[in-house]
Amino acid sequence: MDRAYSRTRIVIMLSIILALIMADHLRSPTFAFNSGQGNVETALSQRDETACAPCGAPCPSTRD
Amino acid sequence: MADTAVLQPGLQQPGWQVDRFIVSTALLGLVLLGGLIWLETAPFMVALFVIGTLLGMALYHGAFGFTAGWRNLVVKKRGAGMRAQLLLFGLTSLIMVPMLHSGQAGLVGAVAPVGTSLVVGSFLFGIGMQLGGGCGSGTLFTVGAGNIRMVVTLVFFIAGAVLGSIHLPWWLDQPGFDPVPLVNTFGVSGAILMQLVGLGLIAWWVNRIERKAHGNVERGELLWKSQSHGMLRTLLSGRWPFTWAILILAVGNALTLAIGGAPWSITFAFNVWGAKALEVVGVNMAQFEFWTWEYPAMALKDSVLTNIPSVMNFGLLLGAMLAAGLANRFNEASRNRPEGRQFLAAVVGGLLLGYGARLGFGCNIGALFSGIASASLHAWVWFASAFVGSLIGIRLRPWFRLPN
């Protein structure tokens, strides 16, 4: 059976995704915190228990 | 020649081939990303990454597609896929509703407002499911398995989700009311019982349709043993009986709640990825109200590796890739190149999926599966509205040259 994909494309795609994740992480507060910078708020244990939906939306009753 | 290899002695069974390249690449990706999450975040995020991986394998090996299950009921009048979903909802409800109300601090259910936004969003999502070729989980696991058309769907899913996030505040101002947790009215046992009765009634309706059309009911959802292969081979290379996938998905969602503090969700990550991409090209997302709310603002500002839905989605993609490699079927669905209108369906479907998921407070996983597991009324409204949308999507499919 012939292969249905190109190995090179797979490697390039996954490398791009990994590079994007790294680029995003390197400029994040969590990376700054891990690098020893204090007074940085990270989202690691963030919970918004007052939100009305998993996406953080407020309740309709609280809107003007 | 085939890029496959017969398994090593010990795992070898006649005719079983794995795609070594895909399996090795997926495992390397899991180790690299898992290691990065371990180093940079916290052990519980690694656990959620592993759970995401197992869920991706279960979705792929179990061929657990919400979209196809609904379409099979409507078009072929076969209900095994739909009944498997109902069983999954019932089982998860039995596990997670008591968990959420056990008094343990820090656990938040998937509850959401009921109103115009929810009805319109889930309706659009239902149309998008049938045109895009999958729901939130379906899109992700098929992308992980190398399906090119679904990559197009995912890209426009993300675009639609960002557009939906910009419009959501306006939709929230339309008629609607605050979340309705069934437990508040009926208590834990009453809410579970009510939901089981509701699921039972739907199962009865599904059976009636199937029996009327075929004179019998196929009980594919109750199979627990593979018809063709041994246990080990089925576990690694699929296809799993529905019962295995149901168990893994139910336990996986419960563990996500126990470890992450909230049930499994998928599409919020798409919002974050899309908004981050727009910020890179200079768009200030803080000008939009959604991105000033506490949770989205924090998720946008910080690393995707600290965002639970993103981390679980990464695991799901790689888990599906691993499963497709073990089944020697990576990218099989793309062997026949999609034509113009099929790509158009992926674009339109993706946009509707993303926009609908944001307005509807999630997809089949975050709003429906996790919503019912949290005994929230919004999940039932989502179910009905998305199913109606799906009926329209099924009617539109032939124009897009998609088989029904």
Indicate whether B2 belongs to any domain: no
**Residue B232 — very low, low, confident or very high, per pLDDT cuts 50/70/90?**
confident
Query: Is there a contact between B155 and B273 (Cβ–Cβ < 8 Å)?
Result: no
A44–B36: do the CB atoms touch at under 8 Å?
no
A vs B: CB pairs below 8 A: 146
A54–B25: do the CB atoms touch at under 8 Å?
no
**Which of B46, B303, B374 has the highest number of chain A CBs within 10 A, making it the mutation to test binding with A?**
B303
A56–B293: do the CB atoms touch at under 8 Å?
yes
Q: What percent of chain B has a predicted confidence (pLDDT) above 90? A: 84
- DSSP H or E run through B177: strand B176-177
Q: Is the pLDDT of residue B6 over 70?
A: no
A18–B33: do the CB atoms touch at under 8 Å?
yes
A58–B172: do the CB atoms touch at under 8 Å?
yes
Q: Is A49 on the interface with B (CB under 8 A)?
A: yes
pLDDT in tens, B271-283: 999 999 999 999 9
Q: Is A38 on the interface with B (CB under 8 A)?
A: no
**Minimum mean pLDDT among A33-37, B140-144, B151-155: which range?**
A33-37
> Which residues in B60-170 belong to E strands, given as ranges?
114-115
Give the structural domain span for B125: 17-103+111-400
**Minimum mean pLDDT among A5-14, B167-176, B325-334: which range?**
B325-334
Nearest CA-CA partner of B206 in B64, B388, B80? B80
Higher pLDDT pick, B401 / A42: B401
Strand partners, B6: B17
Q: Is the pLDDT of residue A64 over 80?
A: no
**Residue B291 — very low, low, confident or very high, per pLDDT cuts 50/70/90?**
very high
User: Domain limits of chain A?
Assistant: 1-39
Q: How many domains does chain B have?
A: 1
B358–A14: do the CB atoms touch at under 8 Å?
no
Q: Is the bond preceding B239 in cis, omega lying within 30 degrees of 0?
A: yes
B224-240 exposure pattern, b = at least 16 Cβ within 10 A, e = fewer: eebeebeeebbebbbbb
Q: Estimate the crossing angle of helix B340-359 against helix B136-144, to 10 degrees.
A: 130
Question: Which residue among B33, B314, B361 sits closest to A53, beta carbon to beta carbon?
Answer: B361
pLDDT for position B12: 45
The size of chain A, in residues, is 64
Counting Cβ atoms within 10 Å, is residue A47 exposed (0-12), middle (13-18) or buried (19+)?
middle
3-state percent helix, strand, coil for chain B, nearest multiple of 5:
75, 0, 25
- Alpha helices (H) along B42-181: 43-61, 66-71, 80-100, 116-132, 136-144, 148-172
Indicate whether B240 belongs to any domain: yes
**Residue B8 — very low, low, confident or very high, per pLDDT cuts 50/70/90?**
very low
CA A43/CA A18 separation, integer angstroms: 21
- Alpha helices (H) along B62-115: 66-71, 80-100
Return the ∠ at Cα A41 (arms to A34 and B366), rounded to 5°.
100
Strand partners, B18: B5
Chain B partners of A10 at a C-beta cutoff of 8 Å? 21-22, 25, 146
Over residues B317-342, the mean pLDDT reads 89
**Residue A1 — very low, low, confident or very high, per pLDDT cuts 50/70/90?**
low
Nearest CA-CA partner of B206 in B55, B15, B387? B387
pLDDT in tens, A10-54: 999 999 999 999 999 999 999 999 898 877 777 776 666 678 999
Counting Cβ atoms within 10 Å, is residue B20 exposed (0-12), middle (13-18) or buried (19+)?
middle
A4–B335: do the CB atoms touch at under 8 Å?
yes
DSSP B348: H
- DSSP H or E run through B265: none
Question: Which residue among A2, A5, A54 sits closest to B262, beta carbon to beta carbon?
Answer: A54
Indicate whether B4 belongs to any domain: no
Question: Which residue among B106, B178, B302 sits closest to A30, beta carbon to beta carbon?
Answer: B302
Q: Is A9 on the interface with B (CB under 8 A)?
A: no
Query: Is there a contact between B386 and B129 (Cβ–Cβ < 8 Å)?
Result: yes
- The pair of structure tokens assigned to B57 is 């394998």
**Which of B180, B302, B376, B377 has the highest number of chain A CBs within 10 A, making it the mutation to test binding with A?**
B302
Query: Is there a contact between B175 and A63 (Cβ–Cβ < 8 Å)?
Result: no
B307–A3: do the CB atoms touch at under 8 Å?
no
Q: What is the mean pLDDT of chain B?
A: 92
| Whole-number Cα distances in Å, B95 to B189, B213, B242, B291, B373 | 12, 35, 19, 33, 8
Indicate whether B39 belongs to any domain: yes
pLDDT in tens, B234-287: 888 888 988 999 999 999 999 999 999 999 999 999 999 999 999 999 999 999
CA B312/CA B383 separation, integer angstroms: 24
Question: Looking at the predicted complex, does its ipTM rise above 0.95?
Answer: no
Chain B partners of A28 at a C-beta cutoff of 8 Å? 301-303, 305-306
Q: How many CB atoms lie within 10 A of CB B187?
A: 12
Query: Is there a contact between B397 and B371 (Cβ–Cβ < 8 Å)?
Result: no
Query: Is there a contact between A24 and B82 (Cβ–Cβ < 8 Å)?
Result: no
Question: Which residue among A3, A44, A56 sits closest to B296, beta carbon to beta carbon?
Answer: A56
Over residues B190-212, the mean pLDDT reads 97
pTM of the model: 0.93
**Residue B333 — very low, low, confident or very high, per pLDDT cuts 50/70/90?**
confident
